[in-house]
Amino acid sequence: MKTAPHSPDQPSPYEGLSASDLLAILAEKDAFITAREQQVQERDRAIRERDTRIKLLEEQLRLATIRKFAASSEKLPFQITLFDEVELEAALRELDEQLDLDGTPDDQGDAAQQRRRSRKRQRGFSAALRRERIELLLADADKEGALKTFFSKVKEELSYIPPQLKVIEYWQEKAVFAVTEAGGIEERIVAAPRPVPPLGKCFAHSSLLAYLITAKYADGLPLYRLEGILKREGHGVSRSVMANWIIRLEDVFRPLMNLLREEQNSCRYLQADETRIQVLKEDGKTAQAQKWMWVTRGGPPDRPSVLFAYDPSRSGEVAERLLDGFTGILQADGYSGYGAVCKQQGIRRIGCWDHARRKFVEASRASPAGGGKGKQGRVSKADVALSYIRRLYAIEREIADRSPAEKYRARQALSVPKLAEFKAWLTKNQSRVLKDSLTRKAIDYALNQWELLLGYCDDGELNISNALAENAIRPFAVGRKAWLFADTTRGAHASATMYSLIETAKANSLEPRTYLLHILERIGAADTVEKLEALLPWNVELPRFEKNVSAYPRNK
């Protein structure tokens, strides 16, 4: 309400008004002012919400851009150091001295030193490779009159023998006997025994089947490329025929897979994870609907197994079926589907620091500073959290070669105090971060999973992360980019079986194609449990390659 300016020569507009009228006018003004103040507050609130929404959308846009165009490595360009690394090294040295004073046998220390030395790069070629000697000879005229001649090795080269197709012809010897029967003399034929092929009447030799499985599931070659490769080698095999072979082999390998599952679920420690797979023809689901490939890794150190299982659902019922009979320790991410089976079967569950760290990595990379120093030299809260987590991983790298008892003592002495310090920082900064931002989500996830994330410190045989299970999934994820999808449910189950055999062979230091050929040549005649157990990867007599894989890469 606007009022015209009052001139001293003019009468006041309020003259002649009663007190009640003046009070009414004042009340109207107060109501008007209050309404305007509310409008201003609503506008300011809307502006703040808009600015917050813009910040969140900008953060999501930066993350989407990074995921699409930036490198997928979790290593950040600016590795912030908020803690004195000398302090960590000193603590580790003190722990080493403490362990030595407490009676660590010298032979164990020597073994640890030997393992560290074995990490150094090995030069030359593997002794397991076939070698061919080529002698470079002098001409007779060049060595005429020499006291003696000798050879010295001057160079080694790695040669490649290209694959080739050949036809194996089986000629069965048969003997004819004259047998006297009641009605006279008859002929009886005795034939030499034939090997039992895995697929019965099939023209594919076990070596071809082993090659196709390894090429598709270990090397990520889709069947249409293998079709072209075989055609160039001299005999084309259609991709539909190859797909049929692989699907039929899933039934052949099923008894062996059942043994592996029983062996794994009887162990003490399992790691689990799951990833998406597209299956075009699944009853009750569209081709675009999400389906899942589950993976579990476990077993004693000398008998590890990696098992894949396909299911269109991600419900807890799948976890209950896969973990039937397991009563040990389960390490997984924060997915709630494992909760029911852990409660029902008395399974102890621990968390995975890789999953917690990954959320802070995304928050750091999506921040305006982009995972490093800003214009004012400041760092984000996600970078600070990552510094805490890097300290935990640094400790794990340092104690990687120690015994479980020594690992437990090191974690109690070094990791537990740092974890308590980290939790205090998370709790303090939780309310200081924008709600629904990536950093806030990462902090909330870490605090909600905190008791599970602490679990690895209670046992030296446990790992800080689910990295071994994730590493087993990685070949599947790489292959999925090449073959894109599974056509049918049977094809998805067959893929799970083939990945299980390949990754279990690799976990047991076996070359996958060699192991597959070994079991394909024998599984047709494996008609007893004892014969099937002889085909398990830790029971076969095959060359083993030396492992050189660390669960805690340096760049993390």
Predicted confidence (pLDDT) per residue in 94-150, tens digit: 666 666 655 544 555 555 555 555 555 556 777 778 899 999 899 988 888 888 898
Q: Which residues of 50-65 are buried (b: 16+ CB within 10 A; e: fewer)?
A: eeeeeeeeebeebbee
Q: How confident is the model at residue 549 (pLDDT cuts 50, 70, 90)?
A: very low
Do 330 and 347 meet the contact criterion of CB atoms below 8 Å apart? yes
Smallest CA-to-CA distance from 307 within 535, 490, 505, 480 is with 505
CA atoms within 13 A on the CB side of 261: 16
Q: Tell me the two tokens of residue 405.
A: 């008892």
Do residues 387 and 381 make contact, with C-beta atoms less than 8 angstroms apart?
Answer: no
Residue 551 has pLDDT above 50, yes or no: no
Q: Out of 4-18, 79-93, 202-216, 253-267, which region has the weakest mean confidence (pLDDT)?
A: 79-93
Place 251 in a pLDDT band, splitting at 50, 70 and 90: very high
88 versus 431: which is more confidently predicted?
431
Q: What is the mean pLDDT of the chain?
A: 81
pLDDT of 543 strictly over 70: yes
* Least confident among 171-180, 277-286, 309-318: 277-286
Whole-number percent of the chain with pLDDT over 90: 25
The angle, 0 to 180 degrees and rounded to 10, between the axes of the packed helices 438-448 and 381-398 is 40
Residue 550: pLDDT band (50, 70, 90) is very low
Cα–Cα distance list, 349 to 313, 327, 404, 417, 496 (Å): 22, 10, 19, 22, 25
pLDDT at 381 over 50: yes
Hey, how many other C-beta atoms are within 10 angstroms of the C-beta on 280? Answer: 16
* Rounded Cα gap, residues 19 and 296, in angstroms: 85
The predicted model gives 15-41 an average pLDDT of 79
Q: How confident is the model at residue 78 (pLDDT cuts 50, 70, 90)?
A: very low
pLDDT tops 50 at residue 419: yes
Lowest-confidence region among 1-15, 50-64, 214-228, 490-504: 1-15
**Confidence check: pLDDT of 545 > 70:** yes
Residue written as tokens 């270990």?
218
| Average of per-residue pLDDT across 373-392 | 76
- DSSP β-bridge partners for residue 178: 187
Check whether 514 has a pLDDT greater than 90.
yes
Q: Which residue has better confidence, 375 or 125?
A: 125
Which strand (E) or helix (H) includes residue 545?
A: none
- Give Cα 379 distance to the centre of its chain: 30
Q: How far apart are CA 211 and CA 517, in angstroms?
A: 8
- Return the minimum-mean-pLDDT range out of 17-26, 35-44, 163-172: 17-26
Helix (H) or strand (E) holding 307: strand 305-311
**In which band, very low, low, confident or very high, does the pLDDT at 73 lie, cut at 50, 70 and 90?**
low
Q: Is 239 exposed, middle or buried (0-12, 13-18, 19+ CB in 10 A)?
A: middle
What DSSP letter does each residue of 46-91 carry, written as one string?
HHHHHHHHHHHHHHHHHHHHHHHHS------SS----S-HHHHHHH
